[in-house]
Amino acid sequence: MRHPLAAVALMIGLLIPCAALAQQTAPEPILRVTIDPPRVVVGQAATLRIDVLAPNYMTAPPELPDFQVRNAVTRQLRSINENEQRDGLTYAGVRFEFAIHPQEPGSYAIAGQAITIKYAAEPPATREATLALPPIAFEAFIPDAASALQPFLAARNLSIEQTVNRSSDQLKTGDAVTRTVTVKAEGIPAMLLPPVKFTAFDGLKLYPAQPSLQDKTDGRTDVLSSARTDSGVYMLEKAGDYVLPPIDLRWWNTGAQSIDVAHLDPVTLHVEANPAAGAASSVGTSGPRRSWGALRDVVADHWLSIALVLLALAGLGWLMPRMVRAIAARLRRRREAYLRSEAFAFSELRRAARRGDAKAVYFALLDWLQRFEPVAPQHTVEAFKAVAHDAALDDEIGAVERELFAPSAGAVRWSPHRLLRHIGGARRSIRHETARAARHRAPGQLNPVDDRVLSLNRQRRPAR
């Protein structure tokens, strides 16, 4: 009897520590990391998948790093909740997916990253754990058949389209033409689409606009669609025939594994001389003729008084020729300086706004900004809006640009009164801020003294 009891006691003594050890060993979170494909075409996406699972359930969303990689664009895709059974225990967590688009060929790596999670190990107790991610690496390459593409552009699908807006049907000098080019692609971010370069011509003044970039991801498939829009405004300065050249965009079709070409046709412009200029010249010639006739009548009726005035002027010119020339030169310089000044340009802007001509207002605004020093060195509309910080001003300028370059039936019409009020208010506030900043600068020498005064002060004897 003693031997069986001793065996039972020995087995119990051995099982008790094992059970205690099993209770002390708590289940650990699970971390799985994959990247697919490990070798990807430049510009296309390598998908990084991270599975984070915790025993029971998580009490807070995991804290993730940003996974930013040099010379690559990283964007987060959808997240999927997951559940898993392991050794009779339920694990709950999330699968995170990131798309990494390399911009250059070479090797890319992600290392030294960690994820922090909080989970209910033994509810209601909460535990926090930091999970170190293993090193992640992939490679980007350019196919040999596409090595001649400069720049290299790869996409699943790509299209290009253009619109040409004319300020009038019969183009004349002083009119404007806007050429807008939109590139749409699939599988590549908009920031990796190359810019469209517009050609400048003698007789056409080019004003390129800021590009517009748009990315859209399908919520069900995570397919990325992107669009880049570039536009340029041509101001017609000389009459003649012009051809805006065709645009060809060569790109690598990842589906067909071949080079495709997206093509835009050239744009022909026929610009005629502005008849308003001829009318102005004819008015200028008929006006002097009428003036000379009126002058003859005045001379015939008041010849004696005119002769006396002419004699007096001749005597004055003989007595003071230098003074007269000096005054005339000074007046001429002041006039020329005023014509080059910011104040004159602003008065021209006010005059154009009062006439209600959107085209004249817009280009008067551009001319004034060239002389408005607070927006240096760009002297552009965008720089002026950035310094003004006035949303109403942005709306008014935008209304002028839409009416001039992209007219539409439902667009809000611009108001000369509101435009002048907002531009004038921005001009006053910007000049006030600039003057106040200049007053706060410490001058190099507050009270400069002539050296001769200093020498006299040294020789002067002190008063007793």
The amino acid at 421: R
Question: Do the domain assignments include residue 290?
Answer: no
Task: Report pLDDT digits (tens) over 406-436.
Answer: 776 666 677 888 888 889 888 888 888 888 8
d(CA 66, CA 63): 10
Same domain, 112 and 187: no
Quick one: which of 206, 200, 169, 165 has its CA closest to 404? 165
pLDDT in the model for residue 395: 85
| C-beta of residue 115 within 8 angstroms of C-beta of residue 53 | no
The tens-digit pLDDT sequence of the chain (464 residues) is 445 555 545 455 554 444 444 445 678 899 999 999 999 999 999 999 999 999 988 888 999 988 888 899 999 888 899 999 988 889 999 999 999 999 999 999 999 899 999 998 777 788 999 999 999 999 999 999 999 999 999 999 999 999 999 988 899 998 999 999 999 999 999 999 999 999 988 999 999 988 999 999 887 888 899 999 999 999 999 999 999 999 999 999 999 999 999 999 999 999 999 876 554 444 444 445 445 555 666 666 666 777 778 887 777 666 666 676 777 778 888 888 888 888 888 888 888 888 888 888 888 888 888 888 888 877 788 888 888 888 888 888 888 888 777 776 666 677 888 888 889 888 888 888 888 877 765 444 444 444 444 444 444 444 33
For residue 152, give both structure tokens: 């290299």
Neighbouring residues of 463: CB distance < 8 A, sequence distance ≥ 6: none
**157 with 249, same domain?**
yes
Q: Do 186 and 151 share a structural domain? A: yes
| 101/157 same-domain check | no
Domain presence at residue 165: yes
46, 316, 328, 340, 342 from 331: Cα distances, Å: 72, 18, 5, 14, 18
Examine residue 185 and state whether it is found in any structural domain, yes or no.
Answer: yes
> What is Dmax (Cα atoms) for the chain?
163
Tell whether 93 and 177 lie within a shared domain: no
Beta bridge mates, 107: 139
Q: Are residues 78 and 95 in the same domain?
A: yes
Residue 414 domain-assigned? yes
Strands 136-141, 39-41: parallel, antiparallel or unpaired by DSSP? parallel
227 in the same domain as 159: yes
Q: 232, 254, 271 — which closes off a domain?
A: 271
Boundary-marking domain end, from 141, 164, 185:
141
Q: How far apart are CA 252 and CA 261, in angstroms?
A: 9
Q: Whole-angstrom Cα distance, residue 228 to residue 252?
A: 17
Backbone dihedral region for residue 133 (phi beyond 0: left; psi -120 to 50: alpha; all else: beta): beta
Both 248 and 267 in one domain: the answer is yes
| Residue 319: per-residue pLDDT | 65
Q: How many domains does the chain have?
A: 3
Question: What is the residue whose two structure tokens read 């020995």?
Answer: 10
CA neighbor of 187 nearest in space, from 153, 140, 233: 153
Question: Do 120 and 216 share a domain, yes or no?
Answer: no
What six digits make up the tokens of 251?
Answer: 């790109």
Q: How many CA atoms lie within 13 A of 197 on its CB side?
A: 5
Which backbone phi and psi does 47 adopt, to 5 degrees?
Answer: -90, 120
402 in a structural domain:
yes
Q: What's the confidence (pLDDT) of residue 6? A: 52
Burial class (CB in 10 A: 0-12, 13-18, 19+), 448: exposed
Distance, CA of 97 to CA of 222 (rounded, Å): 10
Q: What is the 3-state secondary structure (H, E, C) of the chain?
A: CHHHHHHHHHHHHHHHHHHHHHHHCCCCCEEEEEEECCEEECCCCEEEEEEEEEECCEEEEEECCCCCCCCEEEEEEEEEEEEEEECCEEEEEEEEEEEEEECCCEEEEECCCEEEEEEEEECCEEEEEEEECCCEEEEEECCHHHCCCCCCCEECEEEEEEEEEECCCCCECCCEEEEEEEEEEECCCHHHCCCCCCCCECCEEEEECCCEEEEEECCCCCCEEEEEEEEEEEEECCCEEEEECCEEEEEEECCCCEEEEEEECCEEEEEECCHHHHHHHHHHHHHHHHHHHHHHHHHHHCHHHHHHHHHHHHHHHHHCHHHHHHHHHHHHHHHHHHHCCHHHHHHHHHHHHHHCCHHHHHHHHHHHHHHCHHHCCCCCHHHHHHHHCCHHHHHHHHHHHHHHHCCCCCCCCCCHHHHHHHHHHHHHHHHHHHHHHHHHCCCCCCCCCCHHHHHHHHHCCCCC
**Do residues 109 and 157 share a domain?**
no
Rg, the chain, Cα only: 39
For residues 145 and 47, is the Cβ–Cβ distance under 8 A? no
Kindly report the pTM of this predicted structure.
0.55
Residue 62 is assigned to a structural domain of this protein: yes
How far, in Å, CA of 191 to CA of 63, rounded?
27
Asked, for residue 167, whether it belongs to a domain, the answer is yes
In a domain, 49, yes or no: yes
What is the C-alpha separation between 367 and 341, in angstroms, rounded? 11
Clarify whether residues 175 and 228 are in a common domain.
yes
Same domain, 163 and 261: yes
Q: Which of 84, 107, 141 finishes a domain? A: 141
Selection from 253, 243, 56 nearest residue 145 by Cα: 253
Q: What is the CATH number of the domain that holds 92?
A: 2.60.40
How do residues 326-373 score in pLDDT, each as one tens digit?
Answer: 777 788 888 888 888 888 888 888 888 888 888 888 888 888 888 888
Domain interval for residue 225 = 145-271
